[in-house]
Amino acid sequence: MRKILIVFSCLLITFVSAAQSRWAGAEVFVESSFTGANGDYAPLWLTANHYGLSSVRTASNYERVSLVRPIEVDSGRTWRLGYAADIAVAFGHERTFIVQQAYGEIAWKVFRLTLGAKEQPMETCELPELSSGAMMSGINSRPIPQVRLDIDWFNIPFTKGWWRWKIHGSYGITTDGRWQESWHSPETRYTSNTLYHQKALFWQFGRKDLFPFTYEIGIQMATQFGGTSYNVKTTRLNDQQLTTIKHDTGFNAFWQALTCQGSDATDGSNPNSAGNTLGSYLMQLKYHGERWQARAYWERYFDDHSMLTVQYGIRDMLIGGDVSLPSNPYLSAAKFEFLCSRNQSGAVYHDGTHNIPDAMAGRDNYYNHLLYSGWQHYGQAIGHPFLTSPIYNTSHELTFRNNRVRAWHIGLSGDPSDEWHWRVLASFTNNWGTYSKPFDDPMRQHYFLLEATYKPHWGYGWQGTLGLGLDHGPLLGNSQGIQLTVRKNIIH
């Protein structure tokens, strides 16, 4: 522990020195956060959507130092540069020394290349502090180191700016293999060195300088592939023996992840795409007013090919709306969201055979996978936190035991003055477990947060945030908790 604190102090001095150099636009802050609660777990909204820098335990804290130069500092230039070194020493977390962000990125015109672990924002999401999250790629888990190429919004020729495109793609590797090995219970599945791929394409229609409405539609997909799966048990192999499977990591594996092809060692006579492939469709309609803005949005998640089309209907979705109001001391922004993940293509699954050729592609089992440890990183869902993350499993199994959810969520925020900011979150969920292991009775679980941030004029870069969280229900239990976070901006 002493060595860690010495390294932590040396890095702090290095960060401060670097920020004082000729690299204009760099920001340096130090931050301390403490969470205390009763019950079995800390309240959800003191834990979820913190990019994984949080703990579900009832007592935890971290000390953090961050040097960040946002690439947006160079927004008026053709060539742009951004980087970050963001580390923490934590107690009561899954790890003691945490590299939260470490990346560098360079951009030329609409092209941007990012190398490393970066807290990426949610796609087509505004007012993220009021959101419950996103189904495919949210802000709930630790960033995954990757090489990512973005092509930002560019005009389609001959459309005079009325039609624009945006594209990105990346390859990376998860870093939680050692944590999975130490955390999982004996004879349960875990993975190491799992590779990661993500891609997305978005279209935007409209010109807000001529007409106040714009419409966006897009698709994003991701794949977990490669690496090694341990303690695999499947009916297509030998039920009496746990098997270790080392997946292909050659060029062909990267190509199959990109094109959604290939198969896994356990697929047998019914091959599927290699790895754990998933994604979502997204749409949003935005009103760009002079004094206020409004938006309606929709996300449709799919866990395999059965939900790529509307063959099984559109019953599962995340749908919401938000509004940003003119400056006033009462209410600045409001958001409402509804989530349903209960259907999952239906309750019946059957591969076609010679005797029974009819195939039914139901029971998608969101976020779970036969070979991989699910759509999680360090135990937290990469997607939506309402689908109960494996970190809550007392059995220490790396599986999502509750992915059939129906939920309503409200978020409000206000700025009574330029020194004060507040937000309120209220979420009401019904939970059915999974198709294979349903709960005896549906469980109702409610989550609440009341939070205030104070940035005093006299504080010279100091700010403090106090959050009060409350959970009620049998899924995660009843708990009340407090979270105090103090930040000091050294250079801004």
pLDDT tens per residue across span 377-401: 999 999 999 999 999 999 999 999 9
Q: How far apart are the first and last CA of the chain?
A: 31
pLDDT beyond 80 at 119: yes
Domain ranges of the chain: 1-107+484-492, 109-454
- Predicted pLDDT at 266: 74
In Å, what is the CA distance from 5 to each residue of 46, 54, 63, 64? Answer: 26, 20, 10, 12
Contact 89, 4 (CB under 8 A): yes
Q: What would the mean pLDDT of 183-210 be, rounded to a whole number?
A: 96
Euclidean distance between CA atoms 289 and 282, whole angstroms: 23
**Cα 21 from chain centroid?**
34
Q: What would the mean pLDDT of 61-76 be, rounded to a whole number?
A: 94
pLDDT tens per residue across span 132-156: 999 999 999 999 999 999 999 999 9
Residue 175 DSSP one-character state: S
- Predicted pLDDT at 15: 46
Q: What would the mean pLDDT of 289-314 be, rounded to a whole number?
A: 86
Cα torsion at 50, 55, 60, 64 (round to 10°)? -40
- Residue 409 identity (one-letter amino acid): H
- Predicted pLDDT at 263: 80
pLDDT-derived band at 168 (thresholds 50, 70, 90) equals: very high
Contact 400, 436 (CB under 8 A): no
Euclidean distance between CA atoms 282 and 208, whole angstroms: 20
For residue 79, which phi and psi values (nearest 5 degrees)? -100, 135
Euclidean distance between CA atoms 391 and 44, whole angstroms: 12
399, two tokens:
């599986």
Euclidean distance between CA atoms 216 and 400, whole angstroms: 31
44, two tokens:
């959800």
- Percent of the chain topping pLDDT 70: 89
Euclidean distance between CA atoms 160 and 461, whole angstroms: 44
Decide: helix, strand or coil at residue 138. coil
Q: What would the mean pLDDT of 254-273 be, rounded to a whole number?
A: 81
Contact 172, 195 (CB under 8 A): yes
Look at residues 52, 90, 42, 85 and name the one whose alpha carbon lies nearest to residue 176. 52
Secondary structure of 413-434 in the HEC alphabet?
EECCCCCEEEEEEEEEEEEEEC
Look at residues 179, 181, 100, 171 and name the one whose alpha carbon lies nearest to residue 141. 100
Contact 391, 56 (CB under 8 A): yes
445, two tokens:
């679980």
- 291 Cβ neighbours under 8 A, 6+ residues apart: 326
> What global pTM score does this model have?
0.91
pLDDT beyond 60 at 238: no
